[in-house]
Structure 1
Amino acid sequence: MTLLDNIEYIIVDLDGVVWRGRDIIEDNVSSLARLLDLGFKLRFITNNSTKSRADYIVKLRSLGLKVNPEDVTTSGRAASLWLKRVQGESRVYVIGEEGLVEELRVEGHIVTESSLEASSLVVGLDRRVCYNKLSEAVRALARGILFIATNLDPNLPQEDTIIPGAGAIIAFLEVASGRKPDFIAGKPNPWILEVALGEAIDYSRVLVIGDRIDTDIVLAEKVGAKPVLVLTGAHRTLDENIRKQLEHRGVIVLNNLKELINKT
């Protein structure tokens, strides 16, 4: 028996697994290319909504990974599809970057600069967010509009540090408005897996690879998939007690994805 026996789909995070900021994690990329060559179906799922699926496809292909549009899902796309399901094509006030705006527009939503015109607020990571925009969002929440978070990641791994994530922005809005999001589209919500894979999936044949315990690993546990934590992103080392707790939960802990290849 090997770690990949009976596995059909491999879910792969991006930040902290494929890259950290501008740095490519070469050992992981070469291992992912090998998994593709072996015939595994890779699906890249990221909570980072700053880029669109099209942007991520270009970047992954530039690394030599053979990916198609259906192979990439972002929390921005997951948020856009859920909003369309519950409200139809909507007028949206957005705190987020161009990737999130693009995914909303693809599904027919209208992104407005005035929160007074919006029926929903969608919030993702925005590295240029300002106090005025946050204030506008708080005023909109006070009116009772739908509050959608792409994800609650508190931070984002960079080359040798971390930066605040979407969760930090959402925490600001929660404290200022007294409201929590009505819906969180990204990991660990299984909705993003449904967006990526469809509904009729045997999750016992799915392996989830990620660098965050609170998102990637919890997602795998929620659906009954096989969880793999790789120590190349949010966690670079683990306290021995935490490692033992994870192993007790059935989580496979790897230093990098070369170790996964060696286990096949």
Structure 2
Amino acid sequence: MTVTDKTAVVTGAASRRGIGRATSHALAAAGWNIAVLDLDEAGAKAAADEIAGTHGVQAVGFACDVTDETSVGTAVATLTADAPPIGALVNNAGITSPTPFLEVDAAEWDRIFAVNVRGAYNITRALAPGMAERGFGRIVFLSSVSAERGGGVFGGVAYSAAKAAQLGFARALARELGPHGVTVNSVAPGLIDTDITGGLLEGERKAALLAGIPVGRNGRTADVADLITYLCRAESSYITGATYDVNGGSHIH
């Protein structure tokens, strides 16, 4: 079993400093062909060109709104027709919200769930049947330490609830897809230096946050990307339904 004849789909991977972009590079370095799906079409295509040029694999970038079933269907139809068989899906696309619960409205709540939960459903529902039919697949959800400790980092209740929903989604899906050679796992990052957190990690705020991390630094995108790549290996077939913490020891349970 090899991954070099398969495609890994990574959602929300256009951002230069994001976990999705780093994961796409790490997977490509391991031999995967890559499909970058993102709202930002130009960014997705630029990421694909960069990945193909760096690693010598096939890489494509598509505009895709994971919250929109039609948009997902269009992207998947193109991928299925043109790219090597899809063997991995990284549900990375997500948005956060710091709004306190007593201030959050229904529209904000629905927006957070639309991307993090419905978005993951739309793309997973489109790709999982093919994986099961071919007898091989790796699905990884990008959850958050906020789901495990109940917020208190950057995200509020809506974000924590949505990321916790991903954990239940992944665990139940692992039970269903295991007999078909498809593993489903979750990664729960803590404080990672990305565009989402970058501006908030300065001065006293940064010092206070780092004081609670035993390893003494915030996480890097590569810390998460390397773990995801490990979970997507053909050899990692006996790991499923698990949640991996990547938080430097800031939350130990």
Q: TM-score, normalization: structure 1?
A: 0.37
TM-score with structure 2 length normalisation? Answer: 0.38
Which structure: larger Rg?
1
